[in-house]
Structure 1
């Protein structure tokens, strides 16, 4: 079996795209994450579902190395985040909840700036930018300033940027917040297609149950604890997900 980076590996030796084991984190006396464990298989779409305040953003900060904890372990494609953070981050593409685009730069300049930070230059960088713009339907907006884009196109630009270095796993923290229903559905569909068509591993944090499909993996997080972990169909057990989520958390979604 060939890995996404072209290395020949035995099937039983391929680590999951993401592994989180017994993660604990708090701010002072306030515990935010309490013994969080789950894994995301290669090429799987995993929805991290939880209400606001569940600990999703803190978890993403740990996964992306913005903060650290002394309790628990995070591995990305088999690389320990604590021991080798740079190598672990090299496997990731990241889309944060708050936009990180330079609004005064064009769409293309935002991508080229990111390419340079990743060590991509010249023809290779231009080729990847062209591919990224085309796949996200942004080729005709390449010269537009980011501030002139609507929310959906800004998100598409951020996803295109996150995929330029061909990561093994894409992390998205509430990527559809503030978008209109059509833009939200389009981005959700596109990222699902990346999993099924290109084998990309995805962790998608959300508080919206309609972004989760029955064949997705699902981790339900509430008050910093994992309440459910499995396929969405297994968690639902034939019931609507919004009802299951309400029963688990006491909050509608």
Structure 2
């Protein structure tokens, strides 16, 4: 069980540039165990770049750092990544093989014995209401079903922190609601979640919000705290005020 006093994710002074263009400027925030945190910002704010740094697709340069449950990604990447599950913005399931084979392959990559991987996969697919589609090729699933399968796949390694980057992009309203409902329920079991989105309606009242714009954290805290920081009556007004270009503020 995770120590609830240690942040599930701690990002400190994280900056990144593509050549001469700096896209993240000393980003810093925390996500605690069992917390549903929303990384909220417009397209182009730097959310996907931040996810690439957290998951070590890109290297974080000093003095920036990423810690997963106190383990520094730079010093012990294997141990840090072992606590992490990820659902990326772009679909990553193999469309030509079955749902269950996608999950078993993921388990094999993480060193799970096939029998244990299958047991966990069946459990997670049942929880996302896909138990009746395990033998179906992924290409036969709807967009919402594919996303739920990706969430199930991310969970078979039993991560303590789950990252989701624009996980509901392209889904219809019922499918978006189903994915959000399942992920939020996982927090009640102790899972820490960082949900990246540009959609204000995906922020529940109990969420912790990290507002990102132009590569900078403009506000952080519970919804009420973010409203106070923006002197706004509601989240859409706060979003408009906090994500406006620097020249317009």
* TM-score (normalizing by structure 2): 0.94
Map residues 144-223 of structure 1 onto 2, 5 A cutoff. Answer: 144-196=136-188, 198-223=189-214
- Structure 2 CA distance, aligned partners of 1:236 and 1:140? 44
8 A Cα contact 1:215 1:233, kept in partner: no
Choose from 20, 41, 47 the match for 2:38: 47
- 2:219 maps to 1:228: yes
Alpha-carbon RMSD = 1.3
SS in 1 for 2:28: strand
Tell whether the 8 Å contact from 1:107 to 1:141 is kept in structure 2 after alignment. yes
SS at match of 2:221: strand
Deviates more, 1:69-78 or 1:49-58: 69-78
Aligned residue number for residue 107 of structure 2: 115
In the alignment, what sits opposite 1:96? 88
CA displacement, residues 109-158 of structure 1 (integer Å, 9 cap, x when unaligned): 10111111111124322210110111110000111100111110000000
- Quick one: which of 224, 241, 245 aligns to 2:239? 245
Mapping of 1:13-92 within 5 angstroms? 14-71=5-62, 72-92=64-84
CA contact (8 A) 1:45 1:217 kept: yes
Q: For residues 15 and 244 of structure 1, what CA distance do their matches in structure 2 show?
A: 30
Secondary structure at the aligned position of 1:74 is classed as strand
Between Structure 1 and Structure 2, how many residues are aligned? 241
Where does structure 2 lack aligned partners over 5 or more consecutive residues?
Answer: none
Q: Does the CA-based 8 Å contact 1:97-1:173 persist in structure 2?
A: yes
Listed one character per residue, the Cα deviations across residues 145-186 of structure 1 (whole Å, up to 9, x for unaligned) are: 001111100000000000001000000000000000110011
Cα distance in 1 between the residues matched to 2:133 and 2:187: 25
1:250: how far off? 3.0
Q: Which runs of 5+ in 1 are unaligned?
A: none
Shift of the alpha carbon at 1:232? 1.4
Q: Distance in 1 between matches of 2:85 and 2:137?
A: 23
Runs of 4+ deviating beyond 3 Å: none
Mapped to 2, the partners of 1:233 and 1:95 lie a distance apart of 28
Q: SS of the counterpart of 2:167?
A: coil
CA contact (8 A) 2:108 2:114 kept: no
Secondary structure at the residue paired with 2:158? coil
Q: TM-score by structure 1 length?
A: 0.92
